[in-house]
Amino acid sequence: NAGVTQTPKFQVLKTGQSMTLQCAQDMNHEYMSWYRQDPGMGLRLIHYSVGAGITDQGEVPNGYNVSRSTTEDFPLRLLSAAPSQTSVYFCASSRLVGTENYGYTFGSGTRLTVV
Amino acid sequence: AQKVTQAQTEISVVEKEDVTLDCVYETRDTTYYLFWYKQPPSGELVFLIRRNSFDEQNEISGRYSWNFQKSTSSFNFTITASQVVDSAVYFCALSVEEYGNKLVFGAGTILRVKS
């Protein structure tokens, strides 16, 4: 089982460039989310989705867009990269049974550097 | 609002010592879930445990044990007879029923186990 697959693993962008971080899961999980990890700050929620066609903002959404056209895929788009977006990005998915949280499965992360 | 505090930024121990990682959480919800994740130097996030707010039983899994105390809003994690392979960043996280499946993470504790 692949679980949650993130691509690419590493990326260097120039300021102002745009790119899409890919995330795919094969567990038929309804819930998917994107987090960024910065030193000393833990993981912070960027955007999340509770199913195909439904997305919402998390704690730090500015500068990022998401869409959820299928259950499997949840890409994260950086519209115009800024050095402040240098971070490690994690995609995660989980089952959604009412409001009970069964825990997340995380992807292996994307290390993004914006110069 | 929900908040998770891991006051210990970094802990260093010598192999075979016992070590406790502290986690204090804040929430007004009566139904919530607590998690611990491990992030080894390779960078992936590994699920360790999930606990709901109605189950205050302590749990032991091999050298790992967890102490959940609602009275002090704490969910501490103890590693007995630590090993070098336990060196990692450990995150405590909280999700609340009202907040759906969103996880709020603490800043993490870096554990270094020296041989």
Instruction: Verify whether the Cβ–Cβ distance B44 to A101 is below 8 Å.
Output: no
Mean per-residue pLDDT over chain A, rounded: 92
Work out the pLDDT band at A102, boundaries 50, 70, 90.
Answer: confident
Model confidence band, residue A1 (pLDDT cutoffs 50, 70, 90): low
Question: Has residue A101 got a pLDDT over 70?
Answer: no
pLDDT at B99 over 90: no
pLDDT in tens, A39-58: 888 899 999 998 899 999 99
CA distance, residue A43 to nearest chain B CA (Å): 6
pLDDT, tens digit, for every residue of A10-42? Answer: 999 999 999 999 999 999 998 899 999 998 888
Please compute the mean of the pLDDT values over residues B51-63 and round it to a whole number.
Answer: 88
B97 or A46, higher pLDDT: A46
Name, in order, each residue with C-beta under 8 angstroms of A54's C-beta and a sequence gap of 6 or more: A68
CB B113 within 8 A of CB B15: yes
> Would the pLDDT of B70 be above 90?
yes
Distance CA B51, CA B10 (A): 24
Paired tokens of A31? 């819930």
Q: Which residues contact B45 (CB under 8 A, 6 or more apart)?
A: A90, A92, A104, A106, A109, B37, B38, B39, B91
Q: How many CB pairs under 8 A join A and B?
A: 67
Residues 6+ apart with CB under 8 A from B27: B2, B3, B94, B96
Which of A92, A103, A108 has the CB atom closest to B50's CB atom? A103
Which residues in chain B are closer than 8 Å to A101, comparing Cβ atoms? 33, 50, 95, 100-101, 103
Quick one: pLDDT at residue B90? 98
Model confidence at A100, pLDDT cuts 50, 70, 90, reads low
Q: Is pLDDT of B67 > 90? A: yes
More confident residue, A76 or B31: A76
The 10 Å Cβ neighbour count of residue A76 is: 22
DSSP state of B103: -
